[in-house]
């Protein structure tokens, strides 16, 4: 360890940009064992590990870095799986620059440890060598229904199965994974990675009910009656529109509508929208990771041009820095300090452009972030054939919530106590449907902690 003086930070190699924009394959290569060990050996093994504290899952990062440096892969594999339900996923999609790597002591002049790439290596090399995460072989005779097979639901299932609790997941999509399967493009997360984890859960006893929407195909009351507990992890999938004239024009889409539709196209599944951007001028409004997913997907779908419009600057973009850099490398144009005022339509109601207005940053708001101010008289028109709104998400107000006395806050988030239990006893909730749109890693943590609380309650009752 402590080799940061002689070894510089090395990021995982990216595929050539000319080649990678032709397909949806992952752009990052997996570290070789020697490179992973070398990069892990840069860790200074802090007495108070900031990376551990900066990770919402509180992964045992310094410990598995040390074991990777020592080439004790089995220990590193088991330890990385201890606190995370799928480290090979989080190693790929977490905004490490804002979390673990952003908290690394070596950020100050030396370059943070490449934690995400090493985390991915540990799992992938472990799987290659036949290692598998461990689940309890003894069943406790209790079963839990999980509504939603996205990040929170899969996480809850993982930690319940580890305690010998049977789980059944009810999900409205054709395949499990939720956002991981349909919302995050393959160039960031290969769908085979998700499928592999699902198969591991199935082997451990999980039962998946796909194309099954709770409240329609199966009643929520049925789940409450027939299971020892219920966990709701349905995410926040209701996209936000800007509230401007023309936003319902032909060619205007919400980000998740677009991403899900394209992923279904790649899967060969029936599509809801049949969105096509090939040969068209695409404008994406927003600056987070979802916006980057949209612009990069549009490029791979052979759009004639792709432009991202954001009301602040690059420094203030809420997403991961590496995603912005990847988008720029791939040919996305960015226009900062501008906000939409109106969608312009032709006589057939189809999009022809967006009327924008230039902005500037003013005084800080109550959270310390500078407010966005419009500059009078600075309007301009951005031509567009397709406009995608990537402006965040809200929880969906499913009728079965109110019908069963499950209360929500004024934003639609499900109210829970310190044990993730809702206002209906025996029903727990976590992830974006509870806290509002957030990172995958926070949804995963909610699923883990809710599972632990459910197990405690089940055991206390018997």
Listing DSSP states for 340-371 in one string gives EEEEEE-TTSBEEEEEEEEEEEEEE-TTSPEE
Residues 337 and 16: their CA atoms lie apart, in Å, by 31
Intrachain domains 143-236+395-461 and 238-392 with the same fold = yes
Beta bridge pairs of residue 167: 144
Q: Answer for the pair 79, 71: CB distance below 8 angstroms, yes or no.
A: no
Residues 122 and 70: their CA atoms lie apart, in Å, by 13
Residues 125 and 186: their CA atoms lie apart, in Å, by 20
Domain ranges of the chain: 17-129, 143-236+395-461, 238-392
Architecture in CATH of 238-392: 3-Layer(bba) Sandwich (3.50)
Pick the CATH number of 17-129 from 3.40.50.720, 1.10.1060.10, 2.40.100.10, 3.40.1160.10: 1.10.1060.10
* pLDDT by 10s per residue, the chain, length 462: 667 778 899 999 999 999 999 999 999 999 999 999 999 999 998 888 999 999 999 999 999 999 999 999 999 999 999 999 999 999 999 999 999 999 999 988 899 999 999 999 999 999 999 999 999 999 999 999 999 999 999 999 999 999 999 999 999 999 999 999 999 999 999 999 999 999 999 999 999 999 999 999 999 999 999 999 999 999 999 999 999 999 999 999 999 999 999 999 999 999 988 999 999 999 999 999 999 999 999 999 999 999 999 999 999 999 899 999 999 999 999 999 999 999 999 999 999 999 999 999 999 988 888 999 999 999 999 999 999 999 999 999 999 999 999 999 999 999 999 999 999 999 999 999 999 999 999 999 999 999 999 999 999 886
Q: What is the DSSP string of 404-435?
A: TT--B-TTSPBP--TTSB-SSTTEEE-SHHHH
Pick the CATH number of 143-236+395-461 from 1.10.260.40, 3.30.420.40, 3.50.50.60, 3.30.70.890: 3.50.50.60
User: In Å, how far from its chain's centre is CA 391?
Assistant: 15
User: In Å, how far from its chain's centre is CA 407?
Assistant: 26
Angle at 458 between CA 227 and CA 399, to 5 degrees: 40
């Amino acid at each position: 360890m402590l080799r940061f003086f002689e070894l510089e930070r090395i990021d995982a190699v990216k595929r050539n940009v000319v080649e990678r924009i032709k397909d949806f394959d992952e752009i990052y290569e997996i570290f070789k064992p020697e490179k992973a060990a070398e990069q892990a050996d840069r860790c200074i093994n802090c007495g108070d590990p900031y990376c551990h504290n900066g990770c919402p899952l509180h992964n045992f990062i310094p410990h598995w870095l040390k074991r990777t440096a020592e080439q004790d892969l089995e220990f590193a594999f088991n330890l990385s799986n201890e606190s995370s339900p799928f480290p090979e996923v989080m190693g790929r999609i977490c905004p490490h620059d804002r979390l673990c790597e952003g908290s690394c002591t070596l950020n100050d002049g030396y370059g943070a440890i490449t934690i995400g790439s090493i985390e991915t290596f540990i799992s992938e090399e472990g799987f290659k060598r036949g290692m598998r995460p461990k689940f309890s072989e003894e069943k406790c005779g209790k079963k839990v229904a999980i509504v939603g097979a996205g990040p929170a639901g899969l996480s809850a299932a993982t930690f319940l199965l580890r305690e010998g609790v049977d789980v059944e997941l009810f999900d409205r999509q054709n395949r499990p994974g939720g956002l991981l399967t349909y919302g995050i493009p393959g160039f960031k997360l290969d769908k085979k990675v998700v499928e592999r984890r699902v198969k591991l859960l199935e082997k451990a006893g999980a039962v998946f009910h796909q194309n099954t929407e709770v409240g329609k195909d199966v009643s929520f009351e049925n789940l409450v009656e027939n299971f020892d507990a219920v966990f709701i992890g349905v995410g926040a999938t209701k996209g936000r529109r800007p509230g401007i004239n023309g936003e319902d024009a032909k060619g205007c889409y919400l980000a998740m509508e677009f991403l899900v539709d394209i992923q279904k196209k790649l899967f060969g599944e029936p599509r809801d929208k049949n969105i096509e951007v090939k040969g068209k001028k695409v404008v994406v409004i927003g600056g987070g990771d979802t916006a980057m997913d949209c612009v990069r997907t549009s490029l791979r779908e052979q759009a004639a041009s792709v432009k991202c419009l954001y009301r602040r600057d690059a420094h203030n973009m809420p997403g991961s820095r590496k995603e912005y850099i990847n988008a720029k490398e791939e040919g996305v144009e960015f226009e900062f300090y501008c906000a939409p005022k109106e969608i312009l339509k032709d006589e057939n109601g189809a999009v022809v452009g967006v009327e924008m207005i230039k902005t500037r940053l003013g005084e800080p708001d109550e959270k310390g972030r500078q407010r966005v101010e419009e500059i009078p008289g600075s309007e301009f028109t951005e031509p567009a054939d397709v406009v995608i709104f990537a402006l965040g998400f809200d929880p969906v107000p499913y009728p079965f919530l109110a019908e069963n006395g499950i209360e929500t806050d004024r934003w639609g988030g499900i109210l829970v106590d310190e044990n993730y239990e809702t206002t209906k006893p025996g029903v727990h909730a976590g992830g974006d449907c509870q806290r509002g749109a957030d990172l995958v890693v926070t949804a995963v943590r909610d699923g883990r902690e809710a599972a632990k609380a459910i197990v405690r309650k089940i055991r206390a009752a018997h």
